[in-house]
Amino acid sequence: MPRASNDTAIAIDRVHKRYGRTHALRGVSFDIRRGEYFGLLGPNGAGKSTLISIIAGLTHASEGSIAVLGHDVRSDFRAARRALGVVPQELVYDPFFPVRDLLRLQAGYYGCGRDYWPWIDELLERLELTDKRDMSMRALSGGMKRRVLIAQALVHKPDVVILDEPTAGVDVELRRTLWRFTRDLNDAGHTIVLTTHYLEEAEELCDRIAILNHGELKVLEDKRALLDRHPYRFLSLQLTGDGGPLPAEVEALVEDRHEDTLELKLEQGRHYIADVMESIRDAGYRIADVRTREPHLEDIFVELTMDKPDGRAA
């Protein structure tokens, strides 16, 4: 049985999922705390969507168990599903009903009656859908459809909200609106689980981050600790002059090269900025501009999920 405590929103316990010979999840275990903004990251095929489907009851685990607010997703599925709102990744909708009717029907499936209608109107207002409430989903733009999907996930006021790539394919303005909206939800006490391919999104929003790769949990850490444990910093140099080849020890540090700009990856305590710059000057270059940056989540993500030459993931 999954471990559950009052401060656990989702308890995932040794979950395996097999599709024929494919082992999509390999004994994944971790907890998502109540009230946190949690990021679930991983490359395509890492097992994120499979894990979310199991949490939501859309598919069943081959082994292991999951509980939402202490309710097992199979044996106590009603309570688990009432506690959960899921925004699916695909833009799917029922073409037969206008937006507000769709939301009222969705609330009804959860056993919520007319007393939830003011909340539905509030959702429409907050997601800027009020003037679209009587329109068919067919007539809405992709961004508007995405907002309706979010409203559908929230009609029954779930404690835990899973957003499966909610900003995929939406414009920058809508993405910002959705960020604000989900942050407000989190501030109001909802647990938010976000999967995204936009790593800056996870970096901006999430408190803790789990990275899945090849069906295994690679890392689960507080975002700040995760960023701090990356022992690198990046040095960007704009060079002028007709210098010769760079010294081999500098060349080994080059991460990116664009026209007259080099980006070097320096390991803290091992490579020193002053030494690197001196070597470059000795090679006959002048340094016109210098910039440094701390590692982003993306750098860590790439490092953790990049396949090593022997075929295994890092």
191, 19 in Cβ contact below 8 A? no
Q: Is 277 in the site for other proteins (CB under 8 A)?
A: no
Judged by CB under 8 A, which stretch of 108-116, 214-222, 248-256, 278-286 contacts other proteins? Answer: 108-116
Rounded to 5 degrees, what are φ and ψ at 35? Answer: 85, 0
Q: Is 119 in the site for other proteins (CB under 8 A)?
A: no
Question: 3-state DSSP helix/strand/coil percent for the chain, to nearest 5?
Answer: 35, 30, 35
Tell me whether residue 64 or residue 243 sits nearer to other proteins (CB atom).
Answer: 64
Max distance between CA atoms of the chain, in angstroms, equals 77
Which stretch in 93-101, 216-224, 240-248, 280-288 sits in contact with other proteins by CB under 8 A? 93-101
145 lies in the binding site for other proteins (CB under 8 A): no
DSSP state of 111: T
Is position 114 an interface residue for other proteins (rule: CB under 8 A)?
no
Per CB under 8 A, 93 contacts other proteins:
yes
Q: Please tell me whether residue 81 binds other proteins under the rule CB under 8 A.
A: yes
What's the CA gap between 196 and 181, in Å, rounded?
16
CB 195 within 8 A of CB 40: yes
Output 93 or 234, the one with its CB closest to other proteins. Answer: 93
Closer Cβ to other proteins, 100 or 271, answer by number = 100
**How crowded is residue 231: how many other Cβ atoms within 10 Å of its Cβ?**
11
Q: Which listed residue (3, 109, 294, 307) binds other proteins by CB under 8 A?
A: 109
Comparing CA positions, the residue from 50, 126, 42 lying closest to residue 300 is 42
Query: Is there binding between residue 88 and other proteins (CB under 8 A)?
Result: yes
> Does 117 engage in binding with other proteins (CB under 8 A)?
no
| Length of the chain, in residues | 314
Q: Does the footprint of other proteins cover residue 82 (CB under 8 A)?
A: yes
Which among 39, 76, 19 is positioned nearest to 206, based on CA atoms? 39
Residues that bind other proteins (CB under 8 A): 50, 53, 56-60, 77-79, 81-82, 84, 86, 88, 90, 92-97, 105-106, 108-113, 152
